[in-house]
Structure 1
């Protein structure tokens, strides 16, 4: 992994002072601020001046940094939802530019689409769902640009970070790159070989440490179970407070006195790598964030995605004539499929689930992640049918809830998220469970359309019980919003096609 300086490292005591005193309501604000001059000079001046009190610190920061601007929704209009989403793409698109010296921004060679709200940079797993909508909107060049941006990150950093900020480089995100690559229309041998190389690079990142790993051992993102099965977990290469949530992480460590701070912070960071930050899924007691234990769980969604990556590498290698690579990765995918079947299925609940390393058993907690093996095509017909019955327990008026637990965390009940609707709908349709798939899609569309008609907004997350804005977690519900736009646009197109209206091909 390429080492990079984060704001906490560059500004040390100044960064800590700003975050710990709560100078800005959102800890991410200062992490994203752009220094107006060399960081070392700013830090030296702060240490020399030692401005007193919050107001003195504020004046110093405003004199030496440009603060970031959040997304602002366009005025309410009367356009149909699909037309509104297509009009949002240019507003959410950012041109390639050179980051300011000392900024947390990472350079990208091409234009890209941000999610919206406080999320001012390119995010990894968000972007796949955004790209579905871009492709549907005829924005193919932007799709190709974003694939190339992620490839550039793989070339320069060795993996795709959570997002394009220096403070995200110590972790990745759910590995959707192989699905992004499949959206490319560049069928040249050169383009295919380049994308294959990027997929292999990503696989190497996730499997780092696997060679020689003993049964029962784990290193970084790799776990070998007692029977020799090789699977993966979420991780972060840092055990420090997150730059973007510094104040919250330091406060949590002070509250959770029984936890070693570094272990707690790594588990928080690993949950951020999962994209589910945060959820009862990761909490030992299902409620308290201080009980988080992400690194002690083998996630079903991550391993389903890595199965898909291994299959994609095998297929593309075969297509390019590299039979040895194709056979190697096909064998890896087959071994992972067996391990998922053996260890990531909860027989009593009739659903796929995470494996608990400490209990040496699958978790009994039902979450929307149970749909990922269907999405990846891993399930038997019998298990797919039982999974559908289990997932129906998550269905509410506005779509699929994330879990059955209302913990106050955002990746829990009553919230529903666009990417999880898409994974479930696509996976259920793959196995002929169209009634449930259509129910999820119809309820989601109806909720999003109604909220858009009332407010002119598309949201990061929704309360699918009340059919209103979602809540919980470290920050408010954001608007924009990349993955909601992409998934909803695709679902609208599929609905229109089924109704006989012009909407393009089904996804």
Structure 2
């Protein structure tokens, strides 16, 4: 009996470990599609986050047996074999009278998650505690985490920052890159590469030795983004890498899969029916936009009004390449600290080449703005977006360019509540009238780098007031805000407006401390 129990225990443990590497669609073929195309859950993400009560093989055997029986109830079957996820912050109620700083301090606890262990669901193990964004986002997210860390630093929660960086180190070492989030269905793509900025953030407390400590993981992340470079011909692309006709290497967003996103399966299948592109091409462009974090925005469309014209993989995003410039520079510095002058020179040269290429291809002199570059059409993008502030944040712009960007920010992007994401209004959540904390942050500190402090302060004060006004009215901090009509709720997107919210909390606290706003 003991031997049988041990055998069953080992079998279940093996199944859990094995199933953690497979996504829900891979584990539940047929059942997955039936559930996601039904109306059992209003949000497709609910089912892919659900935890199975039994091994996948057992569930599938029961499904195949029962699905064709008279009176089969799919909803009842799913409820019997899966436990739907709960949203902890959904039941949290804030005491508005205690103030917004107390609210954020309490939310760090509400949004905190302990180390994960395999339960047979889609969640990937993580060894350390972490902060989730909130709402439907019940897992760690890559680029969200950096802006959350800015607030954690102001709250003197250095240990949590170290834990979150440790989780990303674990993911890089295990998978070779940082996934979009710690879910099996995110293992085909990453998100904007902010890891080197996280290392920089830690180095403010731990010193320059931090750069050396995390050098192996920075190199692995760099290898992931540059995979496909070898043998690439001019005018061609491979995975995330594009080799331009001048021989320059720049990067794009990409996804290893060309199937509908599992967490938004129904939306993608329906949207694919509206496009003239082959479905796999459309799905990959949708997924690449999800990797950018800007899902979705007219930035990625050839026709600003139509998602069906999405062309993400044809574009060289200016912000992505600024982030990779920072990664190259940080790797170079880590080698310098180790006394390795050859590799310091190698990565410094890579960074300088990337900077020159960004200035060559992404600066639109006619519009006085940094834009994405369409490498297939060999022309700059028509979309004018807040991604254009990233060259200021990373000191890539020259003084004349920075002044031009500042003028356009003030005259075109700045509204009463902050900076709109783009100049297009089309119902997508990463377009006007919506504004997002990370882009306000990058714009403000980018302007400060070029001594545009008055404008930076105006933007920061507008954003802080928007956050505080909504908090006083609702007791919540939100994922995004309508900054054109600050009394209206932000809209767009594939899901309802989320509260919590990790990066909003982080950026707000950071800006309030920088500008000494006490309330």
Classify the TM-score, shorter chain.
Answer: over 0.9
Of 384-393 and 41-50, more deviation after overlay is shown by: 384-393
Corresponding position of 2:4:
none
TM superposition score normalised by structure 2: 0.93
Question: Alignment partner of 2:461: what SS?
Answer: helix
Matched, 1:413 2:432: yes
Matched, 1:368 2:372: no
Corresponding position of 2:38:
21
Cα deviation, residue 184, structure 1? 1.7
Q: For residues 44 and 380 of structure 1, what CA distance do their matches in structure 2 show?
A: 64
- Partner of residue 404 from structure 2, selected from 386, 400, 408: 386
TM superposition score normalised by structure 1: 0.95
Residues 488-503 of structure 1 aligned to structure 2 (within 5 Å) = 488-496=508-516
| Residue segments in structure 1 that go unaligned for 5+ positions in a row | none
- Partner of residue 118 from structure 1, selected from 97, 122, 136: 136
Matched, 1:255 2:274: yes
8 Å CA contact 2:66, 2:72 repeated in 1: no
8 Å CA contact 1:124, 1:163 repeated in 2: yes
- Partner of residue 230 from structure 1, selected from 226, 236, 249: 249
Of 74-83 and 342-351, more deviation after overlay is shown by: 74-83
Of 481-490 and 317-326, more deviation after overlay is shown by: 317-326
Matched, 1:442 2:472: no
Residues 60-209 of structure 1 aligned to structure 2 (within 5 Å) = 60-70=77-87, 71-77=89-95, 78-101=97-120, 103-185=121-203, 187=206, 192-209=211-228
Q: For residues 429 and 447 of structure 1, what CA distance do their matches in structure 2 show?
A: 21
Change (3 A) 1:230 1:54: farther
Cα deviation, residue 55, structure 1? 7.5
Cα deviation, residue 259, structure 1? 1.6
Q: For residues 369 and 190 of structure 1, what CA distance do their matches in structure 2 show?
A: 31
Matched, 1:470 2:487: no
8 Å CA contact 1:24, 1:30 repeated in 2: yes
Q: For residues 91 and 423 of structure 2, what CA distance do their matches in structure 1 show?
A: 32
- Partner of residue 38 from structure 1, selected from 38, 55, 68: 55
Corresponding position of 1:353:
371
Cα deviation, residue 189, structure 1? 8.6
Deviations 1:395-430 (A, max 9, x none): 101100000101111000000000000000010110
Q: For residues 313 and 497 of structure 2, what CA distance do their matches in structure 1 show?
A: 27
Residues 250-289 of structure 1 aligned to structure 2 (within 5 Å) = 250-256=269-275, 258-289=276-307
Change (3 A) 1:255 1:133: same
8 Å CA contact 1:82, 1:492 repeated in 2: no
Change (3 A) 1:352 1:51: same
Change (3 A) 1:25 1:189: same
Cα deviation, residue 255, structure 1? 2.6
Deviations 1:215-263 (A, max 9, x none): 101000000111111100000000011000011111111232x220000
Question: Alignment partner of 1:182: what SS?
Answer: helix
What do you get for the CA RMSD once the two structures are aligned? Answer: 1.7
8 Å CA contact 2:191, 2:293 repeated in 1: yes
Change (3 A) 1:489 1:51: farther
Residues 397-412 of structure 1 aligned to structure 2 (within 5 Å) = 397-412=416-431
8 Å CA contact 2:298, 2:383 repeated in 1: no
8 Å CA contact 1:224, 1:231 repeated in 2: yes
Q: For residues 55 and 46 of structure 1, what CA distance do their matches in structure 2 show?
A: 10
8 Å CA contact 2:202, 2:210 repeated in 1: no
Equivalent residues, number: 496
Corresponding position of 1:8:
25
- Partner of residue 321 from structure 1, selected from 339, 356, 375: 339
Q: For residues 345 and 189 of structure 1, what CA distance do their matches in structure 2 show?
A: 33
| Residue segments in structure 2 that go unaligned for 5+ positions in a row | 1-17
Corresponding position of 1:241:
260
Q: For residues 513 and 341 of structure 2, what CA distance do their matches in structure 1 show?
A: 38
Q: For residues 410 and 19 of structure 1, what CA distance do their matches in structure 2 show?
A: 23
